[in-house]
Amino acid sequence: MIAVAGGLANIAAVLLIAPLCEGVLRKVTARLQSRRGPPLWQPYFDLLKLLGKEDIESGESPGMQRFVARLSLAAVLTVACLVPMGFPAPMNGAGDVILLIYLLTLCGICTLLGGLAAGSTYSLLGIGREMMTMIAWNRCSPSPFSSARFMRAPSGWTTCSTAPFTPSTAFRGRA
């Protein structure tokens, strides 16, 4: 029962604090550009305005756009249940860092699929840009495949080589 209450508290905290973080980010960006910037509460006002608008279906497949938006929200809320924030992790032991990386990557993939469902040539340009950003981010961040060398292998298994990958060592075999 406490785990469920902790999970709901984590979800509520994420949903309520995320717009505030966006407001702080906008304020800091404006200060760095020697501007005054929007009010700190502007993302909350934007959300209220968006919730009051009617739902307009556009693009080639609006069902796909709705699906990927809900899938992205579900992935973020699952991350909120996996990370301890004031309470013990509600889904304690259900996942690890690799699962968190995959869930956060799923949000970017949902953005790509939502743009692809729009069917516009401009959305295709945005998809290409977002894809390049995701590829660059994944090259700089620890991926599940690069973290495999830090895992302990059971007896009898060979472990991953810690030698850096270079084109000259790619075809020579293991070092």
What percentage of the chain reaches a pLDDT higher than 70?
78
Q: How far apart are CA 147 and CA 123, in angstroms?
A: 34
Which among 95, 130, 125, 140 is positioned nearest to 109, based on CA atoms? 130
Specify the DSSP class assigned to residue 93.
T
Residue 81: strand, helix, or coil = helix
Residue 116 · residue 67 · CB < 8 Å: no
Residue 99: strand, helix, or coil = helix
Which among 58, 59, 101 is positioned nearest to 79, based on CA atoms? 101
pTM for this prediction: 0.70
Residues 107-142 pLDDT 10s: 989 989 988 888 888 988 989 988 888 888 766 655
